[in-house]
A and B are shown apart, each in its own frame.
Chain A
Amino acid sequence: MRDFIRFIIKYHFAILFLIIELVCLLLVFNYNAYQRSTFLSSSNALTGGIFKSYNAGAEYLMLREINEDLARENAYLRSRLPESFRASKDYFTLVYDSLSMQEYIYRSARVINNSTNKRFNYLTLNKGRLNGIEPEMGVISNKGAVGIVKNVSDNYSTVISIINTRLKISAKLKESGFFGSVEWDGSSYQYVYLLDIPRHAEVNVGDLVVTSGYSSIFPEGILLGNVENVELEKGASFYRIKVKLSVDFKNLSFVEIIGHSSVDEQIKLEKETEDD
């Protein structure tokens, strides 16, 4: 102890200098927006760059599966082409008018960071504000819904994934049309829970659970998963339905971000109604 004090006395000038200089630098970073943002963004650029190159490697290893997925999606999309429908002139007419304007716009992006083992899981995508991404947009993969965009920077965006206990998504049973909300309980990344389905609804194991389209974030009918098992506690009036997610969050590389072109209009109208 005495040595320690002697050391401090001997070097008090240098120690005091370091302390005061540290205080100064703290002031600089806390109260000067420019230095702070440079400091933060350089660290972000570093982490972003590391994630990106890590991902480039990981993606290469998963090429086979990605190819399969893309091929499957291609096949599905081909089946939706006009050529794959039989044109029956008797009752089918295509009218190009302004009423059938495009409602949802899709932009593809790559997942460059992803977590599944926390309570609050987020993804990072390689597109941001410059690519037209905005907060509150829905994110889906070719297998189903993934999450909702939380924050965007110029070139990156973060997404709250469905397996985040802070996120609730409005969903419904595809067969019967009963709707409720999907929540994650924080345990397994493969399962979420569908709540608020009344007990008189008919639910079978294997039923598809899709987005309801009420929230204006996702279009109606995006797949979430299928019913794994159905619980009904004694005296409860709502089911607690365990849903196996269709998206494998451990294996996610390409996603699509959904922009809703008339979202402002819908929210404005809903707010007006609430205020009345």
Chain B
Amino acid sequence: MISYLPRYLFNFVFFTLIQVLVLNNIQLSGYVNPYLYVLFIITLPFETPGWLLLLLGFTSGMVVDLFSNTPGMHASATVFVSFLRPYVLRLFAPREEYQPGTIPTMAYYGLGWFFRYAAILVLGHHLFLFFIEVFSLTHFFSTLLRALSSTVFTLLLIIVAQLFSQGKKQGR
């Protein structure tokens, strides 16, 4: 468990910086804002206890909030995702259970599994975030459209990021 620490510390800092420095400035056609930093929560080890998951979710969301000046908005969405994560993992558990010593990434469980798993969490995060941000149901469908299109874009980025880390691993 301790051996994971440097890797996740790096992940945390790296994804947060990418998010606040690059992705927060990207706004494609007013509909698409990718939020890559969720990947940190998504790839945490299977054995992470629930309370730690929630606290890490809160922290990562809060840090992004502090940079984008929206206290609580991202935090509430990431906490929501942290809450969903164990249930989604249980839903997609393979027949022979998750192997010890593995983490929920594409490298271990393949594109198909990872895509389904990440898609649900990212969708949950984006729906929550966009509706908290708009905070009304008056523009329900335009908000929904924004959440969905951003989800697609975020998933794309997540897959790319996973391919990169996979390549690194095989190179080693």
Question: Which residues of A come within 8 Å of B, CB atoms?
Answer: 12-14, 16-17, 20-21, 23-32, 34-35, 38-39, 42
B51 near A35 with CB under 8 A, answer no
Interface residues of B in 53-87 (CB under 8 A from A): 54-55, 57-58, 61, 65, 70-73, 75-76, 79-80, 82-83, 86
Asked if B99 is at the interface of the complex by the 8 Å CB criterion, the answer is no
Q: Which residue of A lies closest to B53 (CB)?
A: A13
Q: How many Å from the CB of A77 to the closest CB on chain B?
A: 45
Cα-based distance from A20 to B50 in the complex (angstroms): 13
Cα-based distance from A23 to B71 in the complex (angstroms): 11
A25 near B135 with CB under 8 A, answer no
Q: Which residue of A lies closest to B83 (CB)?
A: A17
Cα-based distance from A29 to B135 in the complex (angstroms): 11
Interface of B is mostly: helix
8 of the cross-chain contacts (CB-CB < 8 Å) are A13-B83, A17-B83, A20-B55, A21-B80, A27-B65, A28-B72, A31-B71, A42-B136
Q: Which residues of B contact A38 (CB under 8 A)?
A: 135-136
A17 near B79 with CB under 8 A, answer yes
Q: Which residues of A contact B55 (CB under 8 A)?
A: 20
Cα-based distance from A16 to B58 in the complex (angstroms): 11
A28 near B79 with CB under 8 A, answer no
Q: Which residue of A lies closest to B75 (CB)?
A: A24
A21 near B79 with CB under 8 A, answer yes
Q: Which residue of A lies closest to B80 (CB)?
A: A21
Asked if B161 is at the interface of the complex by the 8 Å CB criterion, the answer is no
Cα-based distance from A20 to B65 in the complex (angstroms): 15
Cα-based distance from A27 to B72 in the complex (angstroms): 5
Q: Which residues of A contact B79 (CB under 8 A)?
A: 17, 20-21, 24
Q: Which residues of A contact B58 (CB under 8 A)?
A: 20, 23-24
Cα-based distance from A24 to B71 in the complex (angstroms): 8
Tally B residues with Cβ within 8 Å of A: 22
Q: Which residues of B contact A16 (CB under 8 A)?
A: 50-51, 54
B54 near A20 with CB under 8 A, answer yes
A39 near B54 with CB under 8 A, answer no
Cα-based distance from A29 to B73 in the complex (angstroms): 9
Cα-based distance from A20 to B61 in the complex (angstroms): 12
Cα-based distance from A20 to B51 in the complex (angstroms): 10
Asked if B132 is at the interface of the complex by the 8 Å CB criterion, the answer is yes
Q: How many Å from the CB of B137 to the closest CB on chain A?
A: 11
A13 near B86 with CB under 8 A, answer yes
Cα-based distance from A109 to B75 in the complex (angstroms): 46
Contact among B50, B75, B83 for A27, CB-based, below 8 A:
B75
Contact A17/B132 with A27-B75, A32-B73 known, Cβ cut-off 8 Å: no
Q: Which residues of A contact B82 (CB under 8 A)?
A: 17
Cα-based distance from A27 to B86 in the complex (angstroms): 26
Residue of A12, A14, A32 with most chain B CB atoms under a 10 A cut-off: A32
Cα-based distance from A23 to B75 in the complex (angstroms): 9
Contact among B51, B54, B57, B132 for A28, CB-based, below 8 A:
B132
Cα-based distance from A21 to B54 in the complex (angstroms): 9
Q: Which residues of B contact A35 (CB under 8 A)?
A: 132, 135
Cα-based distance from A20 to B72 in the complex (angstroms): 10
Cα-based distance from A42 to B132 in the complex (angstroms): 15
B83 near A28 with CB under 8 A, answer no
